[in-house]
Amino acid sequence: MIVQLNGERAELPDGATVADAVKVVGIDGERRGVAVAVDGEVVRTADWERTPLTDRQAVEVVRAVQGG
């Protein structure tokens, strides 16, 4: 399937979950300071593994950065 992952086109295997998308952007195991929205809705961290993605969804994976 094709999703928009942090604004870029990304190909993920069918059945991929939010947790898989998080790994693709380079986060391995880190949870604190990381959050995910799919089509604008937050997916709870506890639900990443069991939330499947579907074709053409927009996935945003964000992380804490320095800011005022």
Partner 1 sequence: MASQQVAPSSEVTGEQAAGFELGGRTWGSRLIVGTGGFRSLDAMERALVASGAEIVTVALRRVDPTAKGSALELIDRLGKFALPNTAGCYTARDAVRTARLAREAFETDWIKLEVIGDDRTLFPDAVELIDAAETLVDEGFVVLPYTNDDPILARRLEDAGCAAVMPLGSPIGSGMGIANPYNLQIIVERAAVPVILDAGVGTASDAAMAMELGCGGVLLSSSVARAKDPKLMARAMREAVEAGYAARRAGRIPRKLHAQASTPEEGLPDLE
User: Which position has the token pair 């929205």?
Assistant: 37
Q: Is 1 among the residues that bind partner 1 (CB under 8 A)?
A: no
- State the minimum distance, in angstroms, from the CB of residue 43 to partner 1: 8
The size of the chain, in residues, is 68
Tell me how far apart the alpha carbons of residues 45 and 7 are, in angstroms, rounded to a whole number. Answer: 21
**Helix or strand holding residue 23 (H, E):** helix 18-24
Give the x/- contact pattern for partner 1 in 2-41, rule: CB under 8 A.
----xx-----------------xxx----xxxxxx--x-
- Chain residues that interact with partner 1, rule: CB under 8 A: 6-7, 25-27, 32-37, 40, 42, 44-45, 60-68
